[in-house]
């Protein structure tokens, strides 16, 4: 194989899935599966696949409904579909223990798949992962909150409003403006990235997938998934993410993530640290993968800091200072 990605089409439930693979002649450690966020695709790992594939077997795929994968109208889009898609890919295409790496929506799918795969999941890496905790699923209280939610939900379910939103969101200028909001360093917000997001929105089924966004089931809460996770976990934070209140969300993850097997890396970046600061993410991920291989992937191992030469603390979640672009 090559350390440059090669397309290797696959199918799930009879629907075409775009997947790419890259690997050295003799890969070490577990395989790695990269999972994009909402509206993105395998293209969003453009700065990560070549670096990771120097030493590891790397796979990336487009979730059904996104990128170059099929967008059939009859599918129930949501966490269960994407969890099953990832688990099936690991079982059918990779066939050995795999580390699942996901950003945003892809993080939720990767975590759910990591739980479903059991011993076939060598580890899970979450980059600003989406998904609710149990206490965030409580219904609104008070007439004001209930009214606002009801009216807002009704408006968002209007086909006319949905079409207007869709047409606006897929305009190149809107895509670029949105990316500029969530990238702190905008160097990599380039024409290639904008086009990688715009192009799939032109597919015939794209609007149908977009409409399901307003009805996608929330899925199993993150705290329940963490309680069932049996493999090591790496939390990679773009701590200046304006979309998810990363600092507050990080505290929630610290309360629920399994402390004995969790590593945490905090970076001065926004919602997509793998594309904004890829060198730092690649270094942190490769260091963690090396340590994973050295410990045999023992989920009961003590959490370590991933950093450039810093010794790890004795235990617990570990915020680190990997460089001058990393925040503790």
Interval 154-173: pLDDT, tens: 556 678 888 899 999 999 99
Supply the CATH number for residue 57's domain. 3.40.50.1820
Q: What is the pLDDT of residue 183?
A: 98
Per-residue pLDDT at 158: 79
Query: Using CA atoms, how far apart are residues 219 and 221, in angstroms rounded to an integer?
Result: 6
Determine, yes or no, domain membership for 302: no
Range of the domain at 20: 6-137+217-295
| Structural domains in the chain (count) | 2
Q: Is residue 305 part of a domain?
A: no
Is 313 domain-assigned?
A: no
What's the chain's average pLDDT? 85
Do 94 and 157 lie in a common domain? no
Final residue of a domain: which of 215, 248, 267? 215
- Of 16-25, 66-75, 116-125, 290-299, least confident by mean pLDDT is 290-299
Residue 138 has pLDDT above 70, yes or no: no
CB 322 within 8 A of CB 283: yes
Strand partners, 198: none
Residue 310 within a domain: no
Q: Which of 1-5, 95-99, 244-248, 291-295 has the highest mean pLDDT?
A: 95-99
Q: Do the domain assignments include residue 19?
A: yes
Whether residues 73 and 133 fall in one domain = yes
Task: Please check whether residues 80 and 161 belong to one and the same domain.
Answer: no
Model confidence at 229: pLDDT above 70: yes
Identify whether residues 17 and 123 lie together within a single domain: yes
Do both 124 and 229 map to the same domain? Answer: yes
Residue 250 binned pLDDT confidence (cut-offs 50, 70, 90)? very high
pLDDT at residue 319, rounded to an integer: 38
Mean pLDDT across 234-243: 95
Q: Which of 86-100, 124-138, 303-317 has the highest mean pLDDT?
A: 86-100
pLDDT tops 60 at residue 300: no
pLDDT at 200 over 90: yes
Predicted pLDDT of residue 139 = 54
Same domain, 27 and 113: yes
Q: Does one domain contain both 211 and 221?
A: no
Is residue 326 included in any domain, yes or no? no
Q: Is the residue at 268 inside a domain?
A: yes
In a domain, 82, yes or no: yes
Pair (132, 70) in one structural domain:
yes
68 and 127 inside one domain: yes
Q: Which residue has the tokens 């402390």?
A: 259
Q: pLDDT-derived band of residue 184, with 50, 70 and 90 as boundaries?
A: very high
Q: Are both 230 and 210 inside the same structural domain?
A: no
Task: Tell me the backbone φ, ψ of residue 19, rounded to 5 degrees.
Answer: -140, 150
Which residue has better confidence, 35 or 260?
A: 35
User: Residue 51's pLDDT band (boundaries 50, 70, 90)?
Assistant: very high
Q: Residues 6 or more apart from 296 whose CB is under 8 A from it?
A: none
Contacts of 127 (CB under 8 A, 6+ apart): 101, 102, 103, 104, 107, 236, 237, 238, 272, 273, 274, 281
Give the angle subtended at the CA of 39 by the CAs of 111 and 130, to the nearest 5°. 30
Model-level pTM? Answer: 0.86
C-beta of residue 267 within 8 angstroms of C-beta of residue 37: no
Claim to verify: residue 54 and residue 126 sit in the same structural domain: yes
Same domain? 211 vs 249: no
């Amino acid at each position: 194989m090559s350390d440059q990605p090669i397309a290797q089409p696959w199918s799930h439930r009879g629907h075409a899935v775009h997947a790419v693979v890259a690997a050295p002649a003799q890969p070490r450690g577990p395989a790695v599966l990269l999972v994009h966020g909402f509206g993105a695709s395998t293209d969003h790992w453009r700065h990560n696949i070549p670096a990771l594939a120097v030493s590891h077997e790397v796979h990336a795929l487009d979730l059904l409904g996104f990128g170059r994968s099929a967008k059939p109208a009859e599918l129930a889009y949501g966490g269960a579909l994407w969890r099953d898609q990832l688990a099936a890919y690991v079982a059918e295409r990779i066939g050995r223990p795999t580390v699942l790496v996901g950003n945003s929506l892809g993080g939720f799918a990767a975590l759910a798949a990591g739980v479903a795969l059991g011993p076939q999941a060598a580890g899970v890496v979450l980059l600003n992962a989406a998904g609710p905790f149990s206490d965030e699923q409580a219904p609104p209280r008070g007439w004001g909150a209930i009214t606002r939610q009801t009216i807002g939900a009704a408006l968002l379910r209007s086909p006319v409003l949905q079409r207007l939103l869709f047409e606006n969101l897929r305009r190149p200028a809107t895509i670029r403006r949105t990316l500029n909001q969530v990238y702190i360093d905008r160097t990599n917000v380039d024409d290639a990235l904008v086009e990688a997001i715009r192009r799939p929105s032109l597919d015939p089924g794209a609007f149908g997938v977009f409409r399901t966004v307003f009805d996608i089931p929330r899925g199993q809460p993150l705290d329940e998934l963490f309680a069932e996770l049996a493999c090591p976990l790496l939390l990679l934070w773009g701590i200046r993410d304006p979309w998810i209140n990363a600092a507050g969300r990080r505290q929630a993850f610290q309360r629920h993530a399994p402390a004995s097997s969790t590593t945490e890396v905090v970076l001065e970046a926004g919602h997509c640290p793998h594309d904004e600061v890829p060198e730092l993410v690649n270094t942190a991920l490769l260091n963690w993968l090396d340590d994973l291989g050295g410990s045999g992937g023992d989920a009961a191992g003590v959490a370590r800091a991933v950093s450039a030469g810093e010794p790890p603390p004795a235990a617990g979640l570990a915020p680190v200072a990997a460089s001058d672009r990393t925040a503790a």
